[in-house]
Amino acid sequence: MTEYDYWKIFPRMPRRVTIGDITVRDGFQHLEKFISTRAKIFYAQEMIYAGCRDIEVTNLGNPYLMPQFSDAEEVLRALRSDRFKNSCAKRGVNYDEICITAVTIREGAVDRAIALKQQGIGPDRCLMMVSTEEEHHFANSGTTLPDYWREAERCCRKCADAGLKMCGTVSTIWGSPIAGATDLKDAVEFTKRWLEIGASDIEHADHDGSASAPEVYRYFSMILDAIPDPRLHIAHFHETKRVASASVLAALQAGITQFEATLGGLGGQPANFLDDCPVPGTGEYYYKDPRYVGLVCLEDLLVQIDEMGIEHGYDVDRVLWLGRQMERTAGKRLRSEAVINGRTLKGGHMEFARPGLQQRKAKLGETPGQKLPADWTPEARLPERYLS
């Protein structure tokens, strides 16, 4: 007999998830226009009001390389202000539950985060990143993997001493946009290494949309077999082939409870052009068409999770409204389908109903709600040839 209960088929699949928003950092870093400081603060605060509790808001690296984040300290200061804290209290948001993350790829950025914390405006959590494929890692960090691991170890100690968390990212798990295929076992080992040197949690990243659902399920099953606590693991999927929703489903089936996304599916490799001027970024883009680069779309992910009956803590309609505003901020149509078509409404859209149905049924002698001829059997009787 077929089992119809989805959660019995996939017993590790969660009933509740955490979805972190990384629009203001990862989402904006690929845009080739400067997003105003006021807009960055607006979206960060509004996402928190809408239910986000894990939010990534800036990059504390050298602003010469990524001038999009030249206002990092202003954004952090606004999120640490009494004005924002009071606004949270008025809306019933427990400010102490919010975790603010800043990306700190190199040690200098970690030192900057610690100094800002000492000033009372720093992040709660830093993030460093390794790729299992060394060419991709070198493009991101400018150093070798062994050298970077030593640096990351020092930075984990520094963060622990300063009362900061450190997220360790493992990238190119399912493939590299530079060198191609990778081995899942390397990513499992790198995850263990991050935890060994003091990381608080791990972002498992598909940074170029290489992942496929079967390999996602396989990898996260490997991860949870090796390190069973789902609170340690965050799934980070990019969308380049319109298959990321399948990867999300596969991760859920494996037992992953934490995800990241951006409004409109924004994001990708740091921009190498901003406003009217070329900038260093991380060099040449890996992709030919920027329309097909970015993260899994928060609005669509949230609707997917919501309609599966999985708890998430967001005001979905508020997020959809923010997604529509983001298209105006970015100045272009983004990748969310949900901001256009909305949620699946159980009450339907009766404004599209053709008038006269009930009158027609009455004329034919049918009762309201009757779907079959009155003289038919209550249940269909299939011919024998269809029963075997």
- The pTM of this model reads 0.94
Residue 149 lies in a domain: yes
**Cβ pair 162, 197 in contact under 8 A:** no
Confidence of residue 289 (pLDDT cuts 50, 70, 90): confident
**How many domains does the structure of the chain reveal?**
2
| Residue 50: pLDDT over 90 | yes
Q: By mean pLDDT, which of 29-38, 73-82, 254-263, 281-290 is the weakest? A: 281-290
Residue 79 lies in a domain: yes
Q: Find residue 58's DSSP bridge partners.
A: 102
Residue 80 lies in a domain: yes
The span from the CA of 264 to the CA of 338, in Å, is 10
Residue 255 lies in a domain: yes
Give me 352's structure tokens. 């599209």
Average pLDDT, rounded, for the chain: 95
Confidence of residue 303 (pLDDT cuts 50, 70, 90): very high
pLDDT of residue 306: 95
Instruction: Provide the pairing of β-strand 277-278 with 273-274.
Output: antiparallel
Domain span at 359: 350-386
Residue 4 lies in a domain: no
| Residue 285: pLDDT over 90 | no
Quick one: 20 and 117 in the same domain? Answer: yes
Quick one: 265 and 140 in the same domain? Answer: yes
**Cβ pair 19, 52 in contact under 8 A:** yes
| Residue 291: pLDDT over 80 | no
Quick one: 373 and 241 in the same domain? Answer: no
Please report, as a single letter, which amino acid is at residue 213.
Answer: A
What is the 3-state secondary structure of the chain? CCCCCHHHHCCCCCCECEEEECHHHHHHHCCCCCCCHHHHHHHHHHHHHCCCCEEEEEECCCCCCCHHHCCHHHHHHHHCCHHHHHHHHHCCCCHHHCEEEEECCCHHHHHHHHHHHHCCCCCCEEEEEEECCHHHHHHHHCCCHHHHHHHHHHHHHHHHHHCCEEEEEEECCCCECCCECCCHHHHHHHHHHHHHCCCCEEEEEECCCCCCHHHHHHHHHHHHHHCCCHHHEEEEEECCCCCHHHHHHHHHHHCCCEEEEEHHHCCCCCCCEECCEECCCCCCCCCCCHHHCCECEHHHHHHHHHHCCCECCCCHHHHHHHHHHHHHHHCCCCCCCHHHHCCCCCCCCHHHCCCCHHHHHHHCCCCCCCCCCCCCCCCCCCCHHHCC
Mean pLDDT to the nearest integer, 27-39: 97
Quick one: 171 and 91 in the same domain? Answer: yes
The span from the CA of 195 to the CA of 188, in Å, is 11
Quick one: 85 and 154 in the same domain? Answer: yes
Place of tokens 């020092």: 154
Quick one: 273 and 356 in the same domain? Answer: no
What's the CATH number where 251 sits?
3.20.20.70
Residue 143 lies in a domain: yes
Percent with pLDDT over 90 in the chain: 90
Give me 8's structure tokens. 């019995």
Note the pLDDT tens digit of each residue in 212-229: 999 999 999 999 999 999
pLDDT of residue 290: 74
Quick one: 78 and 187 in the same domain? Answer: yes
Residue 6 lies in a domain: no
Residue 266 lies in a domain: yes
Quick one: 256 and 177 in the same domain? Answer: yes
pLDDT of residue 275: 96
Note the pLDDT tens digit of each residue in 164-181: 999 999 999 999 989 999
pLDDT of residue 52: 98
236 versus 348: the higher-pLDDT residue is 236
pLDDT of residue 347: 85
Percent with pLDDT over 70 in the chain: 100
Note the pLDDT tens digit of each residue in 304-353: 999 999 999 999 999 999 999 999 999 999 999 999 998 888 888 889 99
Quick one: 307 and 368 in the same domain? Answer: no
The span from the CA of 377 to the CA of 387, in Å, is 18
Note the pLDDT tens digit of each residue in 83-100: 999 999 999 999 999 999
Quick one: 311 and 373 in the same domain? Answer: no
Quick one: 282 and 379 in the same domain? Answer: no
| Residue 242: pLDDT over 90 | no
Quick one: 330 and 361 in the same domain? Answer: no
